[in-house]
Amino acid sequence: MTAGQHETEPVYRAEVFVADGALRDVCVLDTTIDDWRRMFDGLRAVPGNHVLTWTLSGTAESGALDASVVWSRREQDPEESASLAIDVDGVWFTCYFFDIEEMEFTFDPSDVAGTATFAPVHAFVTWLGTATGREVIVTMEGTDHAAMPALVRWRP
């Protein structure tokens, strides 16, 4: 740990970002609609551009988005799906709204080739943790993130 670095600050480790064909997941576990609302409210300060796209209608929205509207629309029409894509300096973090109880964004580790290109991951993880007020973990791509070791961790 370097001087001035907080113990929970995300740190670059090359072995975490080996391009192995699998994505990496950025997660907040055990979430509620209130966590989702804080994340959506935090989009005003996200360190990049964002867009929400609805699959069936093909409509794209940016600007002020509402978590309740997203989850309500998903519940009303099970065929409808949405994705929220956030571009932070060329690294795309995408959420597909699989489960209200877990906030999950994916990104391609091949976009992170060194300390300099780790900056967008650092910025995104820090933003997500600050926006939600919750711990954020980065794991290998998977479905049971709570049982997986955290490759990167940020705590408020």
User: What DSSP letter does each residue of 42-57 carry, written as one string?
Assistant: HGGG-SSEEEEEETTT
Digit-coded pLDDT (tens) for 70-128:
999 888 988 888 899 999 999 999 999 999 999 999 999 999 988 888 999 999 999 99
Lookup: tokens for 139: 């794991």
The answer to whether the beta carbons of residues 115 and 11 sit under 8 Å apart is no
Lookup: tokens for 60: 């794209």
> Structure pTM?
0.89
Rounded alpha-carbon distances, angstroms, from residue 76 to 57, 68, 100: 14, 12, 14
- The closest of 49, 54, 45 to 76, measured between CA atoms, is 54
The answer to whether the beta carbons of residues 24 and 140 sit under 8 Å apart is yes
Over 70: is that where the pLDDT of 4 sits?
A: no
Chain Cα centroid distance, residue 86: 8
Over 90: is that where the pLDDT of 37 sits?
A: yes
- The closest of 85, 77, 81 to 97, measured between CA atoms, is 81
Name the residue with tokens 């950025």: 26
- The closest of 119, 156, 120, 118 to 137, measured between CA atoms, is 156
Domains of the chain, each with CATH number or no CATH: 14-154 (3.30.310)
The answer to whether the beta carbons of residues 117 and 86 sit under 8 Å apart is no
